[in-house]
Chains A and B, each alone.
Chain A
Amino acid sequence: MKILVPVKRVVDYNVKVRVKPDQTGVDLANVKMSMNPFCEIAVEEAIRMKEKGLAEEIVVVSIGPAGAQETIRTALAMGADRGIHVTTDAIVEPLAVAKILAKIAGEESPELIILGKQAIDDDANATGQMLGALLGWPQGTFASKVEKDGDTLKVTREIDGGLQTVSFGLPAIVTTDLRLNEPRYASLPNIMKAKRKPIDAKAPEDYGVDLTPRLEVLKVAEPPKRQGGVKVETVAELVSKLKNEAGVL
Chain B
Amino acid sequence: MATLVIAEHDNKSLNEATRAAVTAAKKMGGDIHILVAGQGAKSVADEAAKVEGVAKVMLAESDALGHKMAEALESLVLSIAEGYDAILAPASTVGKNFMPRVAAKLDVMLISDITSVESADTFIRPIYAGNALMTVKSSDKVKVITVRPTTFEKAGDGGSASVETVSAPDAAAKSAFVSEELSKSDRPELGAAKIVISGGRGMGNGENFAILEKVADKLGAAVGASRAAVDAGFVPNDYQVGQTGKVVAPQLYIAVGISGAIQHLAGMKDSKVIVAINKDEEAPIFSVADYGLVADLFKAVPEFEEELSKIGY
Which A residues are closer than 8 A to B by beta carbons? 11, 13, 16-17, 19, 26, 38, 93-95, 98, 117-118, 120-134, 136-142, 144, 154, 157-169, 172, 177-179, 213-223, 226, 228-232, 234-236, 238-239, 241-243, 246, 248-249
For this complex, into which size category does the number of interface residues on chain B fall? Answer: 35 or more
Closest to A125 in B: B96
Closest to B101 in A: A133
Complexed CA–CA distance, A48 and B305 (Å): 46
Determine which of A160, A217, A226 lies in contact with B94 in the assembled complex, contact meaning CB atoms within 8 Å.
Answer: A160
Annotate B248-260 by CB proximity to A: 1 below 8 A, 0 otherwise. 0001100000000
Given A130-B101, A243-B311, A168 and B174 contact (CB-CB distance below 8 Å): yes
- CB of B165 within 8 A of chain A? no
Kindly identify, within residues 254 to 313 of chain B, every residue whose CB is under 8 Å from any CB belonging to chain A.
262-263, 269, 272-275, 281, 286-295, 300, 303-304, 307-308, 310-311, 313
- CB of B13 within 8 A of chain A? no
Complexed CA–CA distance, A117 and B134 (Å): 20
Contact present for A137 and B173 (CB under 8 Å): yes
Query: CB-CB < 8 A to A169: which residues of B?
Result: 174
State how many angstroms separate the Cβ of A120 from the closest Cβ of chain B.
7
Given A136-B172, A163-B181, A120 and B243 contact (CB-CB distance below 8 Å): yes
Contact present for A248 and B136 (CB under 8 Å): no
Contact present for A124 and B110 (CB under 8 Å): yes
Query: CB-CB < 8 A to A213: which residues of B?
Result: 109
Count the A-B residue pairs with Cβ separation under 8 angstroms: how many?
267
Closest to B265 in A: A226
Contact present for A215 and B137 (CB under 8 Å): yes
Complexed CA–CA distance, A55 and B269 (Å): 43
Determine which of B133, B274, B307 lies in contact with A235 in the assembled complex, contact meaning CB atoms within 8 Å.
Answer: B307
Contact present for A215 and B136 (CB under 8 Å): yes
- CB of B61 within 8 A of chain A? no
Query: CB-CB < 8 A to B310: which residues of A?
Result: 239
State how many angstroms separate the Cβ of B159 from the closest Cβ of chain A.
26
- Among B99, B243, B273, find the residue whose CB has the most chain A CB atoms closer than 10 A: B273
- CB of B92 within 8 A of chain A? yes
17 contacts between A and B (CB under 8 A): A11-B128, A26-B132, A123-B128, A127-B100, A129-B98, A129-B99, A129-B101, A133-B173, A142-B97, A162-B236, A167-B178, A179-B230, A179-B231, A215-B139, A231-B292, A238-B293, A249-B311
- CB of B89 within 8 A of chain A? no
Contact present for B111 and A239 (CB under 8 Å): no
Determine which of A126, A166, A221, A234 lies in contact with B100 in the assembled complex, contact meaning CB atoms within 8 Å.
Answer: A126
